[in-house]
Amino acid sequence: MSEMKNAAVRAKDVKAGMRFGSLVTTGSSYCEGKVRKIPCRCDCGKEYAVRVDHLLDSRDPSCGCKKASKVSVARTVHGEWTTKLWGHWSAMRRRCSTASTGNFAGYGGRGIKVCDEWKDYLAFRDWALANGYDDSLSLDRIDVNGDYCPENCRWATAKEQARNRRNTIYVDFRGGHVPLAQLAEEYNVDPDLVYSRVVRLGWNVERALSAPKKGGAQ
């Protein structure tokens, strides 16, 4: 029983005893409606009917066990696929490369990529552990328009990450360029009030932070 080169075989020539990748045909082909199928046995032991066209078109036919095996190895080689750190890594890759992911438009859809080094989980894990990771923190890009890479990422609290969103208002204040929400917190002023004074009424930051609420923007 020799392995058949798919491109050289026509559908009508497929018969029992032929090998295609991990599959061996075990009987004669038959029609099911307009689809021609043939019984097969996979090297893993599974037996099922395969569409003949799929058998011929696939580069390395199997029942799916090969793909499952690759996923299993990727998850278990380091034993960390259930950890929160693995979750950060997996989510980072999905939002940059999987169009069906809900937040893809704000990441991969804008051209944000994961650097080649971090496509390997262990490299990402080593960087994380050397740069202050713990389970209470989230992965944050310093430049929100930049890629995921060691030079542009840090571990941040939820509050710090919120300040670094694309729609965060930054202002120049006493020699620094800082988030307006951060200043409101430091000066114990309602953030919505400060936002209204600066953005809607055009007040300077000093006045917006120091003016009493009474008589100011409400």
pLDDT tens digit sequence for 6-24: 445 677 889 999 998 888 9
Q: Which 3 state secondary structure label does DSSP give 25? A: strand
- pLDDT at site 9: 66
Q: What is the pLDDT of residues 88-102, one digit of tens each?
A: 999 899 989 988 877
For residue 216, being part of any structural domain is answered with: no
CB 161 within 8 A of CB 138: yes
Last residue of a domain, one of 66, 87, 108: 66
Which of 80, 71, 82, 72 shows the shortest CA–CA distance to 126?
80
Instruction: Tell me the C-alpha distance between 36 and 18, whole Å.
Output: 16
- Do 85 and 141 lie in one domain? The reply is yes
DSSP 8-state symbol, 79: S
Question: What pLDDT is stored for residue 103 in this prediction?
Answer: 76
How far is it, in rounded angstroms, from Cα 83 to Cα 89?
A: 10
- Do 22 and 55 belong to one domain? yes
Q: What is the pLDDT of residue 176?
A: 75
Please check whether residues 38 and 61 belong to one and the same domain. Answer: yes
160 vs 156, higher pLDDT: 156
60 and 130, same domain (yes or no): no
Per-residue pLDDT at 43 exceeds 60? yes
**pLDDT value for 162:** 59
Question: pLDDT (tens digit, 9 = 90+) per residue, 46-91?
Answer: 899 999 988 888 877 888 776 655 555 555 556 677 888 988 999 8
**What are the E-state strand segments in 97-167?**
138-141, 153-156
Does 1 fall in a domain? Answer: no
User: How many domains does the structure of the chain reveal?
Assistant: 3
Query: What single string gives the DSSP state of each residue in 122-133?
Result: HHHHHHHHHTT-
The pLDDT of residue 172 is 82
Provide the domain limits for residue 206: 170-210
Q: Residue 31 CA to chain centroid, in angstroms?
A: 41
Helix, strand, coil abundance in the chain, percent, nearest 5: 40, 20, 40
Mean pLDDT across the stretch 19-41? 91
Instruction: Supply the pLDDT for residue 147.
Output: 95
SS3 176: strand
pLDDT 10s digits, 160-177 = 665 555 446 777 878 777
C-beta of residue 36 within 8 angstroms of C-beta of residue 56: no
CB 184 within 8 A of CB 205: no
pLDDT given at position 1 = 47
- The CA–CA distances, whole Å, from 6 to 13, 18, 20, 56, 213 equal 11, 11, 7, 5, 78
Instruction: Point out the least confidently predicted range of 102-106, 141-145, 175-179, 200-204.
Output: 175-179
Asked if residue 150 and residue 178 are part of one domain, the reply reads no
Is residue 140 within 8 A of residue 153, CB to CB? The reply is yes
Within a domain: 74: no
Whether residue 4 is predicted with pLDDT greater than 70 in this model: the reply is no
Q: What's residue 161's pLDDT?
A: 61
Asked whether residue 71 is domain-assigned, the answer is no
Rounded to the nearest integer, the mean pLDDT of the chain is: 81
Q: What is the pTM of this model?
A: 0.46
Distance from CA of residue 141 to its chain's centroid?
Answer: 15
Query: Does residue 140 carry a pLDDT above 70?
Result: yes
33 sits in the region (left: phi over 0; alpha: psi -120 to 50; else beta) called left
- 15 close to 42: Cβ distance less than 8 angstroms: no
Domain end residue (candidates: 126, 144, 163): 163
pLDDT exceeds cutoff 80 at 159: no
**Does 159 lie in the same domain as 107?**
yes
Question: Do 87 and 131 fall into the same domain?
Answer: yes
